[in-house]
């Protein structure tokens, strides 16, 4: 297993696709929904999500500005452990 720390934006990938979708909820509404969900958690939890939701959730948990959320890593088939404002990436060694 490889472990890495990755709650530091590492690129300039835009997040604006979500805002641009016709009839989409937009990032502001997604962010409010994620914040409400996070506030509802009463203890350690496992959350399975798609990439954009995961990036916004991880940004909120780690104190990363929403404008930088799209630059967070977006690995597939891994686990992001969010704890005390930090993120640890767990991946299978390969």
CB of 70 within 8 A of CB of 14? yes
pLDDT score of 5 more than 80: no
**Residue 77 sits in which domain range?**
2-91
pLDDT score of 7 more than 80: no
Higher pLDDT, 22 or 41: 41
CB of 55 within 8 A of CB of 72? yes
pTM: 0.77
Q: In whole angstroms, give the CA distance from residue 1 to residue 77.
A: 12
Q: Which of 18-27, 34-43, 66-75 has the highest mean pLDDT?
A: 34-43
Q: In whole angstroms, give the CA distance from residue 1 to residue 42.
A: 29
Going edge to edge, which strands form the sheet with 86-91?
A: 2-5, 86-91, 79-83
Count of domains observed in the chain: 1
> How would residue 26 be classed by pLDDT, with cut points 50, 70 and 90?
confident
pLDDT score of 8 more than 80: no
Alpha helices by DSSP H, 10-90:
16-20, 26-40, 51-62
């Amino acid at each position: 297993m490889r472990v890495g720390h990755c709650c530091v934006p590492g690129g300039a990938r835009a997040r604006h696709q979500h805002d641009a979708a016709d009839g989409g909820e937009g990032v502001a509404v997604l962010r409010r929904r994620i914040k409400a969900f996070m506030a509802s958690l009463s203890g350690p939890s496992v959350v399975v999500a798609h990439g954009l939701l995961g990036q916004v959730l991880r940004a909120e948990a780690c104190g990363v500005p929403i404008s930088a959320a799209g630059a967070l890593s977006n690995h597939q088939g891994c686990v992001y452990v969010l704890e005390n404002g930090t993120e640890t990436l767990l991946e299978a060694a390969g």
